[in-house]
Amino acid sequence: MEGKTSLFLLSWFLTISLVFSECPNGCTCPTSTQVDCSGAAITEVSDFIPENTKTLQIFNSRVTELTDSPFQNLSVLVILRIERNELSQISSGAFDSLVNLRYLSLSNNRLQELPHGLFKNLERLTTLLVANNQLSQIHPTVFTPLKNLIDLQLWGNNLKFIPQGIFDQMHSLLKLNLGKNSLTSIPANSFEKLAKLQALRLYENKLREIPEGAFARLGDLTELGLHHNQVRRLPAELFSNNQNLQKLFLSNNLISALPRGIFANLPELSRLTLFGNAFGKITVGVFGPMQKLKELWLYDNQLLTLPNNVFSNLTQLQLLSLSRNKIHSISSNAFNGLNELLELSLHTNALTNLEEEVFSGLPKLQNISLQNNKLKSLPRKLFRKLSGLKNIQLQNNSLGKLPPGFFEPLEHLNEVKLYDNPWRCDAGIHFLKRWILLNQLKLGNSSQVVCSDPPLLRGQPISDLNDDPSSLGTAATTINADSAVPEDIETPGSTTSYSQSSGNPMDETSPLLLFGTTTEEIESSFVTKSSSLPSPEDGRKRGLWGLTSLQSGVVIAVIVLCCLALLCTLIVCGLYKRKKSSHVELRMKQPNEA
């Protein structure tokens, strides 16, 4: 009797196990409570899903519709993901039996609406994802039953407005994503009941303005994304009640001005993006004390100047990007307070010069980018207090020279870019040449640093220039019309001659003679100086036309040879003509006369 009872119980257990654990066709069951169904062969939700399933995933199928109660036997289901399908319609009773559901994802489908009452029995739901669908509007009360919802994702739809009071019953909501829609405005009280909200994302919409007080009730907000909209103006008190804000994204809008004090009450802010806007200035007082702000992105704006102390409250900032503006001047104390700054980006502006002390308040700076400006010269002590500087980008400016000792205080320098500058290869280029030869690894390809002037040296790498200092000195002093009489030119009573080290001191093709001057300057220099320089009396008397005896002899010899050549030519021509005449006369006689 006991044996029969045991056999019956075993059979009953096996039957129940088969009923509850059999995996549907076309699906896989990684565990006894999880069912994954995917593939084009699936066109509807199976009726044979085990009743003990807690996780059901339907991906990449051809399911187009969810009818009433397709999950009627799945009362213990906790996670339901129906993603990347052809789903376009859902009946209002589709989820009625899923009373224990916590997580529901309907993302990446083709849904155009959420029917009223769809979530009426999902009071335990904490996460709802309806991203990347085709929703153009939402019923004002569709989310009313979701009192325990923590995360709502509606990004990637075509929503044009937010119905009044649609979020009023969602008191537990922590994350709300409305990005990548077509919203043009938001009511001032849209989020006033979301006191626990921590992350609000409104990026990539068409918002033109943000009403004052829109975020006033969001005291716990830590992240706010308003980037990629069309906002032109921000109210001065917009963030005054958001002291817990840590990330604020305002980039890629049309903001033309930042009101004084707009960021004055954000002590927890650690990330702020303002790039891609249209403001032309930043006034002192815009930034309040932000001890946690590490990065500030201000590139792609219309900034013209940087006033003193504009960043003085950002004492912990490590990266400051001001590139691709129109900055033409920087006040000497503009960077005061940035004692922890490691990287400064100023490239692609309109800078023509920099004050010597402008970077003196940045003791920890490691990287600075100044390329693509119009810098013509740099002070010798520009980087003298930046001993930790590792990377300098100066390419594509208007630099003709660098002062001697410019790089001396930079012991940790790893990389310098100097190419695409109009380097003037005169006597003053030797400092740069020597530095290049000693630091070629820091320059990368030193052959890219080439002369621009004078024309005869254009394109020649500076590292390949002749390094004869006496020749450079001769060239420099001979050509400079404002200099004193060079020592290597004879003065009355002296016995020295023109630069004995040079074979021909007047050779205009000599590169050393042409350092730092153009051909026109050379010619004008010799013309203007010929009357003022002392006449070199070297013991050789001047002869005809003011030439030396040797030069006069050469000229006379050439003249004599030319005369002899002319006389010989005349004699030969006369003889040839006479012979030809005789020949013609002979031909004209009759045969018998011959």
Phi, psi dihedral angles at 491 (to 5 degrees): -110, 160
> 390 or 563: whose pLDDT is higher?
390
For the cut 70, the answer to whether the pLDDT of residue 529 exceeds it is: no
Give the helix/strand (H/E) hosting 79: strand 79-83
The DSSP result for 243-279, as a single string, is TT--EEE--SS------TTTBTT-TT--EEE--S---
- The rounded distance, in Å, linking the Cα atoms of 539 and 265 is 88
When pLDDT is averaged across residues 35-46 and rounded to a whole number, the result is 90
Which pLDDT does position 46 carry in this prediction?
80
Which pLDDT does position 20 carry in this prediction?
46
Predicted confidence band at 577 (pLDDT cuts at 50, 70, 90)?
low
When pLDDT is averaged across residues 116-127 and rounded to a whole number, the result is 96
Tell me the pLDDT of the chain averaged across its residues.
83
Q: Kindly give the pairing relationship between strand 329-330 and strand 343-345.
A: unpaired
pLDDT 10s digits, 245-275 = 999 999 999 999 999 999 999 999 999 999 9
Which pLDDT does position 548 carry in this prediction?
60
Four-way CATH pick for 183-302: 3.40.50.2000, 3.90.1300.10, 3.80.10.10, 3.40.47.10: 3.80.10.10
Give the helix/strand (H/E) hosting 21: helix 2-21
CB 49 within 8 A of CB 56: yes
Which pLDDT does position 468 carry in this prediction?
58
Predicted confidence band at 493 (pLDDT cuts at 50, 70, 90)?
very low
When pLDDT is averaged across residues 35-60 and rounded to a whole number, the result is 92
- The rounded distance, in Å, linking the Cα atoms of 82 and 37 is 10
Please name the residue that has the structure tokens 């990684």: 30
- The rounded distance, in Å, linking the Cα atoms of 508 and 498 is 15
Which pLDDT does position 557 carry in this prediction?
78
pLDDT above 90 coverage of the chain, percent = 68
When pLDDT is averaged across residues 389-403 and rounded to a whole number, the result is 96
pLDDT 10s digits, 408-443 = 889 999 999 999 999 999 988 998 999 999 998 898
Four-way CATH pick for 41-141+149-162: 1.10.10.10, 1.20.58.410, 3.10.20.70, 3.80.10.10: 3.80.10.10
Which pLDDT does position 511 carry in this prediction?
33
Structure tokens given for 289: 């004390």
For the cut 50, the answer to whether the pLDDT of residue 475 exceeds it is: no
When pLDDT is averaged across residues 535-556 and rounded to a whole number, the result is 54
Predicted confidence band at 82 (pLDDT cuts at 50, 70, 90)?
very high
Predicted confidence band at 444 (pLDDT cuts at 50, 70, 90)?
confident
CB atoms closer than 10 angstroms to residue 584: 9
Start-to-end CA span in the chain (Å): 171
- pTM value is 0.74
pLDDT 10s digits, 544-553 = 555 566 666 6
For the cut 80, the answer to whether the pLDDT of residue 184 exceeds it is: yes
The CATH 3.80.10.10 domain(s) of the chain lie at 41-141+149-162, 183-302
Beta bridge partners of 177: 153, 201
Which pLDDT does position 445 carry in this prediction?
79
Could you tell me the CA-to-CA distances from 315 to 107, 275, 288, 295, 323 in Å, in that order? 43, 21, 11, 11, 21
pLDDT 10s digits, 303-341 = 999 999 999 999 999 999 999 999 999 999 999 999 999
